[in-house]
């Protein structure tokens, strides 16, 4: 089973029982769908936010401060209807997406328009002397190998690894400098942010999970910024479609019935952006965010600028990838990995704090 299509219970996380959900609803921490529909978001977008470029020619848009509803409480029956290709048992394992709660992002911030590219990461490595973890510890990363059979893997992983032959330089398929860098660890992403901060004198970092979802939604409450229909992703996201499925025929039924033009990663910015001018918030590469993962964190997280649990064992990743089924590219979906993970589907996007 492909790792982007499952989410086992992480260590040290407690399950949310049905009585706790009922209590949260009674306390008003899980608004009804009708209430969410009436609650105003950041408001209609009249013009794209301001755009700036940095020393690596990375583009950033200045997102306004604002409030939004974070998470999802869609009924399992509705999800089963709209995603008939998936086992219905999956829809009962989404407790970490709730309760839906109102979050305020109190300050504007500059969000990366694109995922960090191979070329930008290379320039960082060459200028800083940073040695990515896949190379530093000699164990490598994961990659695509046409001769590899997932059935032979103990974890039934879709990709071969971890092996020294794979790294951010070689994920097993061709990438140009304008493709999203993958096979980078959480520490690698942090190192690039710290280096840019030193060089430019402005603070770069990974977005928090709340900042990421706020940016991805761009004022929407739908599953994707393109709407609720999975097929709508074909014009805004590089996900698991008919082209990619030709290499993994066992998962053909999970593919979107269309073609996005790319079997593996796509050059960043090839698909339509969201209302705030951000590309690839769905698909192309999973994106590390700053937070530790907590399954029940939403039940007690701060309502203003939540930073995630103070400690943990795994870090959150968001957005889905070129190999993700549509269900896992939803704006609310949460996944996670150990910080030292370097995986062929996993990259990152940076943000920069506003000076004012």
278, HSE (Cβ side, Cα atoms, 13 Å): 30
CA distance 344 to 341: 10
The predicted-structure confidence for 87-132, as pLDDT tens digits, reads as follows 999 998 999 999 999 999 999 999 999 999 999 999 999 999 999 9
Q: What would the pLDDT profile of 242-300 be if each residue is shown by its tens digit?
A: 999 999 999 999 999 999 999 999 999 999 999 999 999 999 999 999 999 999 999 99
Q: What is the pLDDT of residue 231?
A: 96
pLDDT for the residue numbered 36: 47
Q: What's the mean pLDDT when you consider all of the chain? A: 90
Question: Which strand (E) or helix (H) includes residue 18?
Answer: helix 18-26
Percent of the chain having pLDDT more than 70? 87
Residue 7 pLDDT grade (very low, low, confident, very high; cuts 50, 70, 90): low
pLDDT higher than threshold 80 for residue 79: yes
In sequence order, what DSSP letters do the residues of 267-285 get, joined into one string? -TT-S---TTS---SSBSS
User: What count of other Cβ atoms lies within 10 Å of the Cβ of residue 52?
Assistant: 12
Would the pLDDT of 155 be above 90? no
pLDDT band at 188 (very low <50, low <70, confident <90, very high): very high
**Average of per-residue pLDDT across 233-239:** 97
CB-based contacts of 282, cutoff 8 Å, min separation 6: 216, 224, 225, 226, 233, 236, 237, 239, 319, 320, 329, 331
| Residue carrying the six token digits 């290379």 | 122
- Burial class of 143 by CB neighbour count within 10 A (0 to 12, 13 to 18, 19+): buried
Assign 156 a pLDDT band (cuts: 50, 70, 90).
confident
Q: How confident is the model at residue 153 (pLDDT cuts 50, 70, 90)?
A: confident
Q: Which residue has the higher pLDDT, 1 or 158?
A: 158
> CB-hemisphere CA count at 13 Å for 214?
31
pLDDT for 46: 64
> What pLDDT, on the 0 to 100 scale, is given for residue 298?
98
**pTM recorded for the entire structure:** 0.90
Ranking 150-164, 208-222, 341-355 by mean pLDDT, the lowest is 150-164
91, two tokens: 């829809």
Percent of the chain beyond pLDDT 90? 84
Task: Determine the average pLDDT of the residues in 311-329.
Answer: 98
Mean pLDDT value of segment 165-180: 98
pLDDT at 84: 95
Q: Above 60 in pLDDT, residue 43?
A: no
Q: Over 80: is that where the pLDDT of 320 sits?
A: yes
């Amino acid at each position: 089973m492909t790792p982007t299509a499952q989410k086992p219970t992480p260590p040290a996380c407690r399950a949310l029982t049905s009585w706790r959900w009922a209590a949260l609803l009674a306390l008003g921490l899980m608004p009804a769908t009708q209430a969410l529909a009436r609650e105003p978001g950041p408001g209609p977008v009249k013009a794209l936010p301001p755009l700036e470029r940095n020393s690596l020619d990375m583009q950033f848009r200045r997102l306004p401060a604002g409030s939004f509803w974070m998470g999802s409480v869609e009924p399992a029956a509705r999800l089963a209807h709209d995603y008939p290709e998936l086992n219905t048992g999956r829809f009962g394992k989404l407790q970490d997406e709730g309760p839906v709660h109102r979050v305020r992002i109190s300050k504007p911030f500059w969000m990366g328009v694109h995922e960090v590219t191979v070329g930008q990461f290379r320039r960082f490595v060459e200028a800083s002397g940073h040695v990515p973890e896949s190379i530093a510890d000699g164990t490598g990363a994961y990659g695509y190998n046409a001769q590899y059979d997932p059935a032979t893997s103990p974890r039934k992983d879709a990709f071969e690894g971890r092996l020294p032959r794979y790294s951010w330089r070689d994920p097993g398929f061709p990438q140009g400098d304008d493709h999203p860098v993958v096979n980078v660890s959480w520490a690698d992403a942090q190192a690039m942010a710290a280096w840019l901060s030193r060089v430019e004198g402005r603070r770069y970092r990974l977005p928090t999970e709340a900042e990421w979802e706020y940016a991805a939604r761009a004022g929407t409450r739908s599953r994707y910024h393109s709407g609720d229909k999975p097929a709508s992703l074909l014009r805004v996201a590089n996900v698991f479609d008919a082209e990619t499925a030709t290499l993994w025929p066992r998962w053909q039924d999970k593919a979107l019935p269309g073609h996005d033009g790319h079997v593996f990663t796509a050059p960043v910015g090839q698909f339509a952006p969201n209302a705030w001018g951000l590309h690839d918030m769905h698909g192309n590469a999973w994106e590390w965010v700053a937070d530790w993962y907590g399954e029940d964190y939403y039940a007690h997280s701060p309502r203003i600028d939540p930073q995630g649990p103070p400690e943990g064992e795994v870090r959150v990743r968001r957005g889905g990838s070129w190999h993700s089924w549509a269900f896992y590219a939803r704006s609310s979906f949460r996944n996670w990995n150990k910080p030292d993970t370097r995986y062929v589907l996993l990259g990152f996007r940076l943000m920069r704090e506003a000076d004012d």
